[in-house]
Structure 1
Amino acid sequence: MDFTSAAADSFERVPGLSPRQDPSLQRGSPTPTLTPTPISLTVLQNGGNWTSGLLHGIMFEEMDHSGDGGIHGQLLRNNGFQGWDAGLTAYKPLGDVVLAQDINNPLTESMTSTLSVTLAPRPGAGTTSTEFVGFGNTGYNGIPVSNSTSNVEYYTSFWMMGDYTGDILIRLVGSRSGNVYGATDLNVRGDWAQFRFFETRFNVSVRPEMQRGYFEDNGENEWQVLWRADEVRGDVLNFGLVQLFPPTYKDRPNGLRDDIAKEVEALKPAFLRLPGGNNIEGLDVANRWKWNETIGPLEHRPGRQGDWHYPNTEALGLDEYMQWCEDMDMEPVLTVWDGKSYGGIIPAGEMQPYLVDILNELEYLLGPATTPYGSLRAHNGRIPPYNIPFIEIGNEDDYSGGCDTYASRLTLIHNTIHTAYPDITLIANNIDPACLPTPPIPGLMYDYHYYRNPDDLAAMFDLWDNWGRDRGKVIVGEYGVRNFSDPDGVFWGFVQGSCAEAVHMIGLERNSDVVRMAAYAPLVQHFGFTQWSPTLIGFDSRPNSFTPSTSYFVQRMFSTNRGTYVHPVQSTAGFGPVYWVATSNSSSYHLKLANFGDERQTVIVRFPGAGRGTLEMLSGPRDASNTPYNVTVVPSLTEFLVSSDVYTVYMEGWDVAVLVVS
């Protein structure tokens, strides 16, 4: 894939991105011979339509340990013994001790288990021991340690009860090499009267002499709590809610992992749909996502068994979601529970308690600090109300048994919210007429979720490009290309699939005054706990594990070049295999292109003006993927300054390109 212009005054690489090594990109190289007839596009100033400005966003839900063990910063697994069968998952004894999950000494009414550490008999009178004993936690298949020779500050805390006063040694250690990447002594004073809270910070680094061992550990690191065996005056100590945080995004307490959050931030998403899709529903009614159990001090959040069959700590709760939105300048799209779980559906006539619960949640988010729930928000550290412009009512009733009763439940919830908050835009969770009220509710938006193979997703270009303005405004809350030859297997995003997503997104963008929002899903996954693939970003505890998919780069290219106006384009060819959309904002024009075919194509573009610009391109063989620790398909970026308003873009098969002209 390459680019030429009629009069290039300068033509240089942008540092930090890896361009495809194509000699035709060099100034003065001959124009390649192309077989297909060139396509001419003229971007017109008049006509077209305004856009919502919100089209490209993200959807997040707790799955594949995307939150716990993922974007949420806390690194220790099973730290609150939550869920149905926690046991001693991730814990290990160190020295002559016995570990047990203790239900007789709960930390709080919400955290009903703690870790009991039973010590071997103390040395006899007059004897001493230099042995250290204690326990470790191995995190989510290891604990990530930054490969930095300079100090990185980690935060750690725990609650302790037992007859011990003295120093506790806290370490971050390589399980294979024994390298101590960070350690500190914490002086504690405990007794059996109550649990006491202790916290400290310590520096973590990989010194040069540790480098080899660091890679041998391959992410298999553990957090250790140790004390001198001969200094323990009792024979049992209990620990509750152990925590370990690396640096967090914007230094927020109980915040997001800085390294993962910055990868998401680079997408510049316009909105966040929260708290996800399936995860709000619950495996049964009792295990639905309950907003009031995700707020306040962590020791008072009971957690639950999540829909993806592992415990959810809910440490990434409602306030943390809202802080995430503010920190990344995203509009929140809040989902409220609509009475449907995977284990049962509440009839419309029995919904009253849940309607009250929704109003309580909205008062918590939107009410003044003088209201009961607004004052609770203020007590939890947030005095001014949040901003909630969109609320979605439930999730996927059309897919999971709720269709027959959704219309009545939707109407109840819509009327309840709209009466109290008439300025909030409400969203139905599907687009199936069989599941929706007749006649339609005025002003309601509609959400549509789908996953397709490449050909079928690209074919949806026509659906959205021609979506009628009389059919209601739409959010595509989840979409993406999946490998339906093995839908339950583990596979990776690939070039053809990402190109299909680009074609589909071009259809969305051309009509984005009606198709207001769209989000690829899922967002992130931990490679060690994959139940759904592919996702935009993958990672685990190993060094250099971050793996942005080919789809991630396409999403970033489209989202970071967002216009506020869609321009008509005069063309010499119809859509297919090349697709395009032209937009502008106050500073630049953008032309997004996708070549959904094998043949090389030439696109000649005329903009209303000429100036400085960039060409960003994603190119690779049709089936090429970015796989864990092996990111080979990345965009190229070229800067240029031209005096002509005519540009020529050469596209290989399956290429995606964004041409920006100031």
Structure 2
Amino acid sequence: MVHLNRIILAVTLTLFTVVSLKAQVPKGGKEISTNLFGLFFEDINYAADGGLYAELVQNRSFEYNPTEQSDWNPFSFWEYISPGFSYGRISVETKAPVHANNPHYMVLEVEHVGHEAKFSGISGVGIKNSGFDGIVVRNGEQYNFSMFAQQLSENPMELLVSLEDAKGEVLASKTIKTNSGDWKKYTAVLNAEASCDSAFLVVLARSNGALAMDMISLFPDKTFKNRANGMRADLAQVLADMKPKFVRFPGGCLVHGDGLGNMYRWKNTIGPLEQRIEQRNIWGYHQSAGLGYFEYFQFCEDIGAKPVPIVPAAVSCQNSGGTWRIGGTGQKALPENEMDEYIQEVLDLIEWANGSVTSVWGGKRAAAGHPEPFNLEYVGIGNEDKITPEFEERFNLIYKAVKEKYPEINVIGTVGPFLEGEDFEKGWEIADQLKLEMVDEHYYTQPEWFLGNQQRYDSYKRNATKVYLGEYASWGNKMWNAIAEAAYMTALERNGDVVAMASYAPLLAKQNFTQWTTDMIFFNNTNICLTPNYHVQKMFMSNQGDFYFDNVVEVAQNDTTLAASCVYDSQSGDIILKMVNAGNSAKTMKINLARFKNMIPKAKLTLLKADPEAENALENPESVVPELSDFTVQKKFDYKVPTMSFSLIRIKAN
């Protein structure tokens, strides 16, 4: 009985603490979205394969083809080798693949293995892969190799798997022996004994015979959170460090694709890797689907962000068929007789994410290693589509089916690719008619626009469809761009009762492989460049609140170079001030914290300040970085905001 009384007392105190905390929110605050700032991910600029997805082998399943790039074929990024006066041949076949969804595989025939004594090196017949602009190998690290192989000759075959530098020096190696006439997966762990930024993976047959090979893969053992088939650890970590409230995926224009056959179909991206369907990327390269829906959802969970998947609205991109330059419309719509099946595909996604292990699709999620639901709350239907009658008809069908079966799911609509115009107006008309929970606005424009339009959402209806600003950025990655975006983001906080979510785009861009010049993070195989835009986004994401307070920071009226906001985090009791100066001289802002009780005077100041033309680069990634320092606050004080700067003061309470 005493034990039970203690439990009751503990629960009562816990409930009292929660209620008391809410009761202590100062008067005058406006509740705002708790999911305001998050991440947008699209496989553009080699963001997935060769980027965030940690696979080190390019064209691992021999599915590259000329429709992606004119000089690509199933042999691309593979080289035939026959050291030691060995000889044989290779071919790509489709007769009996590992799986019908992965039709191409390599056949290696070895007629003669030379003698090592006659030369300096190793003899055999095989292939080597150059990876994505080289394979990075680090001394002392482990690399997990796997492949599917099928003996086509009677005798087992000995394979030497190695990592080598450009001179042929072996950095790590393991021997594998085949033992089956059926397709079988073989694995090995390679322990690197030297470092190299441009290594090759070599698979060398050391005995005569014939062998079929597919899904030749190499992963660093140290992926993010040590996930199998995981993310590149350093890139994933800088995203996790931002503390985003959500992650939108898989795009972007990637979602509705270049023609109906190129639409992103989520079911093609789950299950065993060898059974996933690879396809051409709308941005002109290849999607292995190794980074698929399971991996996206798992990543969201790993970093504490809500998943926001976007599915096609049963129409393709209006720029399909190369109509970018002429303003097309290359939009195609799924035939009406295919809509029932497609609608079920969208419903199955929700069941896959949230269903019990006893449901069909929830069972598939559980079989992949995640019996617990992913707790999906949002589904976007469409992406900056041309609002045609065909689009509207199909959107309505999908929306009504989702709401009928899953009324708790928040559906995000689309209002086209621009901040105004015909599609924007038609999209909002649909939202009003259906009383949509949220619509997805997109716009890219000059930094001056962001400074001059801080009142954009002030006049939006307060109790109607919310806004998800799914893609936005000013054109450029200089300090000037980042500061203009920071000023606009304070306005998003002020309108956090209307703007429910916002995400800068695009997120990632690989050096020498970019289709979009303005991006948040640039990287190559070894280095990462965090732009000034990244630092602004991180400062906002890591310092979000759930209440907004007017008249805490006094800003000079009609001066569009200045902006400020004050938010309150009711969970921590912290007060967060954000002050932006895009002008060419320091400006003073008056701060009045009298309404907040029990403040601790010792606060933290994060200051991002630089010349307007300053920018970071891979060669010099720290030209613009925020500085953290102690700062003492009072109930009322003046703060001099430096020129071209963003100041963030976080104040704790007892």
The two structures have a TM-score, normalised by structure 1, of 0.83
Matched residues in 2 for 1:427 and 1:284: separation?
Answer: 22
Provide closer, same or farther for how the CA distance between residues 130 and 535 of structure 1 changes in structure 2, counting only shifts above 3 A: closer
- Residue 437 of structure 1 aligns to a residue whose secondary structure is helix
- Residue 528 of structure 1 aligns to a residue whose secondary structure is coil
Provide closer, same or farther for how the CA distance between residues 522 and 641 of structure 1 changes in structure 2, counting only shifts above 3 A: closer
C-alpha displacement of 1:167 = 4.3
Contact residue 146 and residue 188 of structure 2 kept, 8 A: yes
Pairing partner for 1:189 from 169, 173, 178: 178
The corresponding residue for 1:537 is: 521
The corresponding residue for 1:618 is: 608
Pairing partner for 2:149 from 128, 148, 160: 160
- Residue 634 of structure 2 aligns to a residue whose secondary structure is coil
The corresponding residue for 2:509 is: 525
C-alpha displacement of 1:349 = 7.1
Q: In the TM superposition, what whole-angstrom CA distance separates every residue of 1:615-642 from its partner, at most 9, and x where no partner exists?
A: 1111211111112221133333333263
Contact residue 610 and residue 644 of structure 1 kept, 8 A: no
Q: In the TM superposition, what whole-angstrom CA distance separates every residue of 1:587-613 from its partner, at most 9, and x where no partner exists?
A: 311111111222222334343444222
C-alpha displacement of 1:409 = 2.0
The corresponding residue for 1:279 is: 254
Provide closer, same or farther for how the CA distance between residues 366 and 254 of structure 1 changes in structure 2, counting only shifts above 3 A: same
Q: How does 1:121-160 map to 2 (within 5 A)?
A: 121-122=112-113, 131-146=123-138, 151-160=140-149
The corresponding residue for 1:515 is: 499
Q: In the TM superposition, what whole-angstrom CA distance separates every residue of 1:98-117 from its partner, at most 9, and x where no partner exists?
A: 44332334222111111233
**1:224 correspondence with 2:202:** yes
C-alpha displacement of 1:153 = 1.9
Matched residues in 1 for 2:432 and 2:519: separation?
Answer: 38
Pairing partner for 1:241 from 215, 218, 224: 215
- Residue 578 of structure 2 aligns to a residue whose secondary structure is strand
Show structure 2 runs of 5+ residues with no match: 1-24, 67-72, 321-331, 417-423
C-alpha displacement of 1:648 = 4.5
- Residue 89 of structure 1 aligns to a residue whose secondary structure is coil
What letter matches 2:135 in structure 1?
A: I
Pairing partner for 2:101 from 103, 110, 129: 110
Contact residue 322 and residue 332 of structure 1 kept, 8 A: yes
Provide closer, same or farther for how the CA distance between residues 620 and 439 of structure 1 changes in structure 2, counting only shifts above 3 A: closer
The corresponding residue for 2:556 is: 573
The corresponding residue for 2:77 is: 90
What letter matches 1:160 in structure 2?
A: A
Provide closer, same or farther for how the CA distance between residues 566 and 313 of structure 1 changes in structure 2, counting only shifts above 3 A: same
- Residue 144 of structure 1 aligns to a residue whose secondary structure is strand
Contact residue 46 and residue 567 of structure 1 kept, 8 A: no
The corresponding residue for 1:390 is: 378
Provide closer, same or farther for how the CA distance between residues 454 and 643 of structure 1 changes in structure 2, counting only shifts above 3 A: closer
The corresponding residue for 1:481 is: 474
The corresponding residue for 1:353 is: 341
**Count of residue correspondences:** 584
Matched residues in 2 for 1:387 and 1:90: separation?
Answer: 40
Q: In the TM superposition, what whole-angstrom CA distance separates every residue of 1:108-155 from its partner, at most 9, and x where no partner exists?
A: 21111112334353459x999952442211111111234xx5x22221
What letter matches 1:477 in structure 2?
A: G
Matched residues in 2 for 1:357 and 1:65: separation?
Answer: 27
Contact residue 482 and residue 532 of structure 2 kept, 8 A: yes
The corresponding residue for 1:487 is: none
Higher relative contact order (CA 8 A, sep 6+): 1
4+ runs deviating over 4 angstroms: 126-130, 347-350
What letter matches 1:170 in structure 2?
A: V
**1:546 correspondence with 2:522:** no
What letter matches 1:595 in structure 2?
A: N
What letter matches 2:92 in structure 1?
A: Q
Provide closer, same or farther for how the CA distance between residues 640 and 439 of structure 1 changes in structure 2, counting only shifts above 3 A: closer
* Percent identity of equivalent pairs: 27
Q: In the TM superposition, what whole-angstrom CA distance separates every residue of 1:342-401 from its partner, at most 9, and x where no partner exists?
A: 35123667522211221222222222222222222223322222211111111111xxx3
Relative to structure 2, which stretch is displaced further, 51-60 or 440-449?
440-449
The corresponding residue for 2:437 is: 444
Q: How does 1:289-368 map to 2 (within 5 A)?
A: 289-342=264-317, 343=320, 344-346=332-334, 351-368=339-356
Matched residues in 1 for 2:383 and 2:444: separation?
Answer: 15
* Pairwise CA RMSD: 2.5
Show structure 1 runs of 5+ residues with no match: 1-43, 484-492
What letter matches 1:569 in structure 2?
A: N
What letter matches 1:506 in structure 2?
A: T
Provide closer, same or farther for how the CA distance between residues 169 and 377 of structure 1 changes in structure 2, counting only shifts above 3 A: same
- Residue 533 of structure 1 aligns to a residue whose secondary structure is coil
Provide closer, same or farther for how the CA distance between residues 459 and 174 of structure 1 changes in structure 2, counting only shifts above 3 A: farther
What letter matches 1:59 in structure 2?
A: F
- Residue 483 of structure 2 aligns to a residue whose secondary structure is helix
Contact residue 270 and residue 276 of structure 2 kept, 8 A: yes
Relative to structure 2, which stretch is displaced further, 326-335 or 376-385?
376-385
What letter matches 1:108 in structure 2?
A: H
C-alpha displacement of 1:458 = 2.5
C-alpha displacement of 1:184 = 2.7
Matched residues in 2 for 1:173 and 1:123: separation?
Answer: 20
Q: In the TM superposition, what whole-angstrom CA distance separates every residue of 1:154-187 from its partner, at most 9, and x where no partner exists?
A: 2110112234635433222222x54543x13233
Pairing partner for 1:430 from 415, 418, 436: 415
Matched residues in 2 for 1:220 and 1:647: separation?
Answer: 56
What letter matches 2:567 in structure 1?
A: T
- Residue 529 of structure 1 aligns to a residue whose secondary structure is coil
**1:411 correspondence with 2:396:** yes
Provide closer, same or farther for how the CA distance between residues 346 and 615 of structure 1 changes in structure 2, counting only shifts above 3 A: same
Matched residues in 1 for 2:211 and 2:149: separation?
Answer: 7
The corresponding residue for 1:32 is: none
C-alpha displacement of 1:521 = 0.7
C-alpha displacement of 1:45 = 4.7
Provide closer, same or farther for how the CA distance between residues 616 and 98 of structure 1 changes in structure 2, counting only shifts above 3 A: farther
What letter matches 1:614 in structure 2?
A: K
The corresponding residue for 1:19 is: none
**1:601 correspondence with 2:587:** yes
Provide closer, same or farther for how the CA distance between residues 172 and 71 of structure 1 changes in structure 2, counting only shifts above 3 A: same
C-alpha displacement of 1:557 = 0.9
Provide closer, same or farther for how the CA distance between residues 652 and 98 of structure 1 changes in structure 2, counting only shifts above 3 A: farther
Provide closer, same or farther for how the CA distance between residues 83 and 448 of structure 1 changes in structure 2, counting only shifts above 3 A: farther
Matched residues in 1 for 2:633 and 2:498: separation?
Answer: 36
The corresponding residue for 1:4 is: none
Provide closer, same or farther for how the CA distance between residues 598 and 127 of structure 1 changes in structure 2, counting only shifts above 3 A: closer
**1:590 correspondence with 2:576:** yes
What letter matches 1:165 in structure 2?
A: P
